[in-house]
């Protein structure tokens, strides 16, 4: 994400990138549009390869805010007061996904996300070491989940993913065992995933000293869901993640009182605990559905976070309307600081001023409207649809984000 020249240049929208993203969606949509003219196959015929659904999404993220780790649009003169730099950013994200059935017992879920990012914060790195090719950052990925149903009680999953961008690449592989029991009213899932990241160690002054640095993460998850009544489902999950290697964002920095910056330094390992619970309630008489969830997070950096979310869905014939609200509170890691008193500190001393990690409250609200223009039996995930969505996100430390999205999917 090391971007274009200028210490105080705001990120701009490159219309060519927007056009490229829309063109990509159009090209990838063409086969689905053609196939949708004649896709009503026998739903009981599951003997061979079949594309059951293709879905397409285009989202635009617009962000405004200020963060102590950012050097954009601040006075860098010695003796200048500590300031929060700009976190202005635009992100354009087209996503293509497909659900492919290989046979009666095997399905493949494929997702291809693309990110086009312009951001003010990395733009503010030393202009003398930037190149024109770095003015915007494009990223692409691939995510594949294969599920094999062994019998009425057990299924197995294989999860493979890759992500590539200008200065960073990552890969992941994982698997899970799914067990259905209690007359198919309960499901237990045990999974493990390994994620490997490799990236250029770009410093706060924009210099890339090389060579690449790495981090490794291993996550183990156990989850269970239980049908409590014909209209109520409860679920819970626990995930432990162990991370090793360079965990900090290498170009983030801490402002020094009196002037200057110190690069972020994190411990070289971290343990992360995540506990979630959710209850879903249906009201068949009005075709209304609610979900209430809670998430607890704690790690060995002494960071603790609580999140609660309420989601409501109302069906109105061939349309559903879904709204959600989420509240989030977090406490900063023990080594978070707004500034360093002096630049004369040991290289290994832990520090960060990252605004994503400081103590904060956040509020998020969203609204989505989906129209099923072609049914696949009941209104299921395999029905064809068009969807419009908006999400607003506000943090107590001066960050605001707006997300608009357009989705459409075709069932085959």
Question: Is 235's pLDDT higher than 60?
Answer: yes
What per-residue confidence (pLDDT) applies to 80? 64
Q: How confident is the model at residue 43 (pLDDT cuts 50, 70, 90)?
A: low
Q: What is the pLDDT of residues 89-113, one digit of tens each?
A: 888 899 999 999 998 899 999 999 9
The percent helix, strand, coil of the chain (3-state, each to 5) is 10, 60, 35
Q: What is the pLDDT of residues 256-306, one digit of tens each?
A: 888 888 889 999 999 999 999 999 999 999 999 999 999 999 999 999 999
What per-residue confidence (pLDDT) applies to 257? 85
Q: How many CA atoms lie within 13 A of 402 on its CB side?
A: 4
User: Can you tell me the distance from the alpha carbon of 262 to that of 339, in angstroms, rounded to the nearest whole number?
Assistant: 9
Each domain of the chain, given as residue ranges in start order, spans 15-39+49-411
Residues 6+ away with beta carbon under 8 Å from 322:
311, 312, 313, 314, 367, 368, 369, 370
What per-residue confidence (pLDDT) applies to 346? 86
Question: C-alpha angle 55/60/64, rounded to 5°?
Answer: 155
Q: Name the more confident of 211 and 28.
A: 211
Q: What is the pLDDT of residues 361-392, one digit of tens each?
A: 999 999 999 999 887 766 666 788 999 999 99
SS3 at position 220:
strand
Q: How many CA atoms lie within 13 A of 187 on its CB side?
A: 15
| Window from 66-75, 245-254, 342-351 with minimum mean pLDDT | 66-75
What per-residue confidence (pLDDT) applies to 363? 97
What per-residue confidence (pLDDT) applies to 296? 97
SS3 at position 121:
helix
Provide DSSP, 19-77. Answer: HHHHHHHHHHHHHHHHHGGG----TT--SS-EEEEEEEEEEEEEEEEEETT--TT---S
Question: Is 134's pLDDT higher than 50?
Answer: no
Q: Are 232 and 281 in contact (CB under 8 A)?
A: yes
Question: Is 37's pLDDT higher than 70?
Answer: no
What per-residue confidence (pLDDT) applies to 9? 31
> Chain-wide mean pLDDT for the chain?
83
- Quote the distance between the C-alpha of residue 327 and its chain's center: 17
Question: Is 187's pLDDT higher than 90?
Answer: yes
pTM of the prediction?
Answer: 0.83
Question: Is 125's pLDDT higher than 50?
Answer: no
Q: How confident is the model at residue 118 (pLDDT cuts 50, 70, 90)?
A: low
Domain 15-39+49-411 indexed as CATH 2.40.160.40? yes
Question: Is 360's pLDDT higher than 80?
Answer: yes
Residues 6+ away with beta carbon under 8 Å from 287:
314, 315, 316
Residues 6+ away with beta carbon under 8 Å from 134:
2, 3, 4, 166
């Amino acid at each position: 994400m090391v971007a274009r020249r200028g210490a105080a240049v705001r990120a701009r929208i490159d219309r060519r990138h927007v056009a490229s993203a829309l063109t990509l969606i159009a090209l990838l949509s063409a086969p689905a549009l053609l196939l949708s003219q004649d896709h009503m196959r026998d739903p009981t015929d599951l003997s061979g390869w079949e594309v059951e659904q293709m879905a397409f999404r285009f989202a635009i993220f617009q962000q405004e805010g200020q963060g102590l780790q950012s050097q954009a649009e601040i006075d860098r003169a010695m003796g200048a007061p500590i300031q929060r730099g700009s976190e202005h950013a635009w992100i354009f994200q087209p996503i293509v996904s497909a659900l492919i059935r290989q046979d009666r017992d095997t399905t493949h879920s494929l997702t291809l996300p693309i990110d086009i990012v312009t951001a003010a914060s990395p733009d503010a790195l030393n202009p003398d070491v930037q190149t024109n090719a770095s003015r915007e950052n494009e990223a692409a990925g691939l995510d594949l989940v294969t599920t094999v149903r062994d019998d009425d009680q057990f299924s197995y999953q294989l999860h493979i993913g890759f992500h590539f961008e200008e200065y960073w690449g990552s890969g992941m592989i994982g698997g899970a065992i799914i067990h259905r029991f209690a007359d198919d009213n309960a499901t237990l899932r045990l999974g493990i995933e390994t994620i490997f990241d490799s990236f250029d160690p770009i410093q706060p002054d924009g210099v890339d000293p090389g060579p690449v640095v790495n981090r490794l993460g291993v996550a183990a998850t156990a989850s269970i869901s239980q049908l409590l009544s014909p209209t109520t489902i409860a679920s819970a999950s626990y995930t432990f993640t162990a991370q090793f290697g360079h965990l900090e964002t290498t170009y983030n920095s801490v402002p020094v009182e009196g002037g200057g910056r110190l690069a972020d330094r994190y411990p070289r390992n971290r343990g992360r605990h995540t506990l979630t619970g959710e209850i879903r309630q249906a009201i068949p008489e009005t075709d209304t559905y609610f979900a209430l969830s809670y998430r607890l997070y704690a790690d060995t950096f002494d960071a603790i976070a609580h999140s609660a979310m309420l989601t409501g869905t109302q069906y109105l014939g061939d349309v559903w309307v879904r709204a959600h609200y989420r509240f989030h509170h977090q406490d900063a890691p023990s080594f978070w600081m707004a500034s360093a008193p002096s630049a004369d500190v040991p290289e290994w001393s832990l520090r960060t001023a990252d605004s994503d990690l400081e103590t904060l409250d956040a509020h998020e609200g969203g609204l989505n409207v989906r129209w099923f223009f072609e049914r696949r039996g009941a209104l299921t995930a395999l029905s064809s649809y068009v969807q419009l969505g908006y999400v607003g996100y506000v943090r107590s430390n001066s960050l605001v984000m707006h997300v608009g999205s357009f989705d459409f999917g075709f069932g085959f």
